[in-house]
Amino acid sequence: MEVLKIATAGSVDDGKSTLIGRILYDTKSLTSDKLEAIEKTSKQKGYDYLDFSLATDGLVAEREQGITIDVAHIYFSTAKKSYIIADTPGHVEYTRNMVTGASTSQAAIILIDARKGVIEQTNRHFFINNLLRVKDVIVAINKMDLVDFSEERYNEIKADFSTLMAKRDYQDQHITFIPVSALKGDNVVNKSENTPWYSGQTLLEHLEDLDKKDIYNTGTPRFPVQYVIRPKTEDFHDFRGFAGKVYGGELSVGDEVVALPSQTKSRIKEIYFYDKKYQTASRRSSVTITLEDEINVSRGDMIVKVGDLPTIDKQFTANISWMDSEKLEPGNKYVVQHGVNKVLAKVEAINHKINPDYSGIDTDVKALGMNDIAEVTFKLNKPIFFDAFKKHRTNGSFILIDTKTNNTVGAGFIQ
Amino acid sequence: MKDTSHINPLESEAIYIIREVAAQFEKPVLLFSGGKDSITLVRLAQKAFWPAKIPFPLMHIDTGHNFPETIEFRDKLVKELGLELIVRNVQDSIDQGKVKEESGRYSSRNSLQTTTLLDAIEEFKFDACIGGARRDEEKARAKERIFSVRDDFGQWDEKKQRPELFDMLNGQIELGQNVRCFPISNWTELDVWSYIEKEKIEIPSIYFAHKRKIFLRDGLIWSHSDYVYQEEDEEVIERMVRFRTVGDMSCTAAVFSDAADIASVVQEIRDSSISERGARIDDKRSEAAMEKRKQQGYF
Ligand SMILES: Nc1nc2c(ncn2[C@@H]2O[C@H](COP(=O)(O)OP(=O)(O)OP(=O)(O)O)[C@@H](O)[C@H]2O)c(=O)[nH]1
Ligand SMILES: [Mg+2]
């Protein structure tokens, strides 16, 4: 079964929650009790239409204010795929939630209010989705019902957006434009009669057609060891299995491998998933591997193929998305969690701040505040084994943990 | 088989999360209710550590008003798999005067579990509790993180949740805090049932259609039992029913069903037009029922 993870983006009130509610409604994924609750609340609020955003805005404060405050994960499936959609808040204050949503998604839907067109938030959201190398971006030009389904307006917005696209760093990102009305349902699941000038797919048709190989980032195989399995039972007296998830590429029995940081070589002896043996461990599967030789491997170490080593270094430069109200300043210390590996890190320098509206960079920066994006150089107390984020989405990313509060305060993408 | 590409990505994700819990925490525990979600978790945990044993105990917060079938099943499973089981009773919390039994038409011990759970966490110094909650169950649950940090009082602050990026899970906590961990966050009800079918996992008999003494109230099917308050004019009838979710007898409603085996249950879920929580009496109390319970430390 295929699972497609999607994040939404767009400014406050652009209609993200409504769009998701509409998808649920039109795919008949809303159960009768949930639909009843929406009908009841819509009526109470005095609306003459169904407020589908009520399907996702689950917190009391959200329903009171009519905005999304925290990411919600929504599930539905068609005969072809299972979908997980992250409904993210549009408020600037919650940009970090958008970064979070984009980090786990293979596709993103950016909404634009057709009356407002491309605004600063659109720049920001497009920038973030490009920075995080989300492979497929759908620009849904929403509220077309409020601009009389005007083709001219649609083309105007499309042209504005295209000037942004020219500036993006990750040029291979696939971008599709769709005119929709989330509220009325035009071109969301069903083709609209109001847009005869639009010959493309509806939003759902597009998602249904996305091919696995087009949306998953691949690279070379990386196997971070999560857990060492030593049963010490009679039947498995000498069993020493390395449990983890395979990222990037696949690993097979017989592959010559190196364990990092020790750089000891060995060969893959067995690959287990539960009690069954396999020849090959595919990408994204959680397996247990045994090696031919008794070598010392523990949690946080990494098994890779011979001749295909990542960078091993105590220093790196990365783009950071800062998510905390406490400032990041040179000299500050954080825990860097890179996959399942943790090391202590010191901020060496803030090289520059990046303006997410593509207006350039600021080089004279003393500190980073909430929602800032910047290039930062770190020094570590131990080497880690990383790839550039461009080459390896998992092995090139990390999170920053505050040593005092233990909170996750930032995310980084290694250059 | 040749390669592992046929493996459900949700299963790999859940195994990854369970391994992270075992690796990042000193004293994890799996909260076991005897329901299908926690039974699924046990299977996933077996897979995560095979051929070694599951490296943490199971804990059941027993309301004393469970379906007897669930308790029988629990004891059998624990014995067969050689697992360690801790049981803590809501009755004890009542006897100690820590909570007060509800009375009347909608009385239930469901929300009383919170106190017993928090006391048990404190007693055993558990720093991580693995639970079978899913985001598709309820709209406040849809906001829950995979690693959800609770303060000393077990409370959930929805505004202070940690961002979760890629699949990195931050389990660092202060002394006294604990983390609720949800490996099947991204599964839907149908995913769970399909998995139970595919893996041929045994589940308590009440999930399948059986004849039961029931009564109807507010459009829901209630079990006729000593534990469930019933008005005199609420007539007892006998019907073929089954349960879609299993909690306390007083808060779990049945559905009319003829689905007597797992294949028909899966089909019934597929065709169903009402959600699983639609049969939870505790959620019908108010629109924000779940959010409120979670803030107080409920699972
Ligand atoms: N006319 C019209 N109104 C729409 C459309 N889509 C959304 N709306 C309305 O716009 C308002 C905001 O919609 P939401 O779905 O809550 O917006 P959102 O993007 O989720 O907002 P945040 O989550 O707060 O960022 C609501 O009143 C919707 O009914 C549309 O296609 N046409
Ligand atoms: Mg919203």
DSSP for A189-200, written as a single string: TB--SS-TT--S
DSSP type of residue B285: G
Tens digit of each residue's pLDDT (9 = 90 or more) over A216-269: 777 899 999 999 999 988 889 889 999 999 999 999 999 999 999 999 999 999
User: Relative to the alpha carbon of A143, which ligand is closest?
Assistant: 1
Q: Quick one: pLDDT at residue B97?
A: 81
The two three-digit tokens of residue B88, written as one number: 């803590």
One domain for residues A289 and A377: no
Mean predicted confidence (pLDDT) in B86-107: 80
Which of A77, A232, A282 lies nearest to residue B4, judging by beta carbons?
Answer: A282
One domain for residues A390 and A404: yes
- Rounded to the nearest integer, the mean pLDDT of chain A is 92
Q: Quick one: pLDDT at residue B287?
A: 55
Q: Return the number of CB contacts < 8 Å for A and B.
A: 185
Rounded to the nearest angstrom, the gap between the alpha carbon of residue A170 and the centroid of all alpha carbons in its chain is 15
Nearest to A118 by CA among A89, A88, A141, A151: A141
Listed in order, strand segments (DSSP E) in B75-151 are 85-89, 128-130, 147-150
Ligand 2 centroid–CA A411 distance in Å is: 23
Count of C-beta atoms within a 10 Å radius of residue A64: 9
Nearest to A381 by CA among A345, A330, A348, A349: A345
User: Which residues of chain B have a CB within 8 Å of the CB of A243?
Assistant: 19, 48-49
One domain for residues A99 and A35: yes
A182 lines ligand 1 (CB under 6 A): yes
What is the C-alpha end-to-end distance of chain B, expressed in Å?
Answer: 39
Which residue has a Cα nearest atom 30 of ligand 1? A143
The answer for residues whose C-beta is within 8 angstroms of residue A64's C-beta and 6 or more apart is: none
Mean predicted confidence (pLDDT) in A8-21: 91
Peptide bond into A261 cis (omega under 30): yes
Which of A227, A335, A398 lies nearest to residue B22, judging by beta carbons?
Answer: A227
Residues A12, A14, A20: CA angle, nearest 5 degrees: 105
A389 CA: distance to closest CA in chain B (Å): 12
The answer for residues whose C-beta is within 8 angstroms of residue A253's C-beta and 6 or more apart is: A268, A269, A270, A271, A278, A279, A280
- Residue with structure tokens 């005869």? A196
One domain for residues A149 and A23: yes
Phi and psi of B28, rounded to 5°?
Answer: -80, 160
One domain for residues A117 and A263: no
Nearest to B204 by CA among B249, B238, B239, B236: B249
Taking only residues 232 to 291 of chain B, the set having a beta carbon closer than 8 angstroms to any beta carbon of chain A reads: 272-275, 277-278, 287-288, 291
Query: Where is pLDDT greater, at A172 or B236?
Result: A172
Q: How far is the C-alpha of A268 from the C-alpha of A255, rounded, in Å?
A: 6
One domain for residues A42 and A12: yes
Number of domains comprising chain A: 3
User: Which residues of chain B have a CB within 8 Å of the CB of A280?
Assistant: 2-4
Q: What is the CATH number of the domain that holds A22?
A: 3.40.50.300
Q: How far is the C-alpha of A56 from the C-alpha of A86, rounded, in Å?
A: 10
B113: enclosing H helix or E strand = helix B113-124
Taking only residues 110 to 169 of chain A, the set having a beta carbon closer than 8 angstroms to any beta carbon of chain B reads: none
One domain for residues A107 and A228: no
One domain for residues A25 and A118: yes
Structural contact between residues A109 and A351, judged by C-beta atoms closer than 8 angstroms: no
A344 touches chain B (CB under 8 A): no
Q: Quick one: pLDDT at residue B66?
A: 83
For residue A169, give Cα distances in angstroms to A131, A173, A375. 7, 9, 15
Given phi > 0 = left and psi -120 to 50 = alpha, else beta, which region is A358?
left
User: Relative to the alpha carbon of A66, which ligand is closest?
Assistant: 1
Atom of ligand 1 nearest to the CA of A180: 31
- Rounded to the nearest integer, the mean pLDDT of chain B is 85
The two three-digit tokens of residue B197, written as one number: 């079918």
One domain for residues A283 and A321: no
B142 touches chain A (CB under 8 A): yes
B185 touches chain A (CB under 8 A): yes
CB contact under 8 A, A227 and B191: no
Residue B282 has pLDDT above 70, yes or no: no
Which residue has a Cα nearest atom 11 of ligand 1? A13
Q: Quick one: pLDDT at residue B291?
A: 65
DSSP type of residue A327: P
Q: What is the CATH number of the domain that holds A298?
A: 2.40.30.10
As for the ipTM of the complex, it is 0.94
One domain for residues A129 and A13: yes
B74: enclosing H helix or E strand = helix B68-81
Residue A33 has pLDDT above 60, yes or no: yes
Mean predicted confidence (pLDDT) in B20-45: 96
One domain for residues A33 and A164: yes
The two three-digit tokens of residue A248, written as one number: 């990037």
Residues B1, B2, B6: CA angle, nearest 5 degrees: 75
The answer for residues whose C-beta is within 8 angstroms of residue B282's C-beta and 6 or more apart is: B108, B110, B111, B247, B251, B289, B293
Which of A3, A72, A274 lies nearest to residue B10, judging by beta carbons?
Answer: A3
Taking only residues 40 to 59 of chain B, the set having a beta carbon closer than 8 angstroms to any beta carbon of chain A reads: 46-53
Residue B295 has pLDDT above 70, yes or no: no
Q: How far is the C-alpha of A234 from the C-alpha of A2, rounded, in Å?
A: 39
Query: Which residue in chain B has the smallest CA separation from A276?
Result: B1
B230 CA: distance to closest CA in chain A (Å): 24
B172 touches chain A (CB under 8 A): yes
| Containing structural domain, residue A206 | 3-215
Domains and CATH numbers, chain B: 9-191+288-295 (3.40.50.620), 202-283 (no CATH)
Q: How far is the C-alpha of A341 from the C-alpha of A327, rounded, in Å?
A: 24
The answer for residues whose C-beta is within 8 angstroms of residue B53's C-beta and 6 or more apart is: A231, B82, B83
Strands A397-402 and A408-414: antiparallel
Tens digit of each residue's pLDDT (9 = 90 or more) over B161-198: 899 999 999 999 988 889 999 999 999 989 999 999 99
DSSP type of residue A59: S
One domain for residues A365 and A228: no
Residue B42 has pLDDT above 90, yes or no: yes
Count of C-beta atoms within a 10 Å radius of residue A283: 22
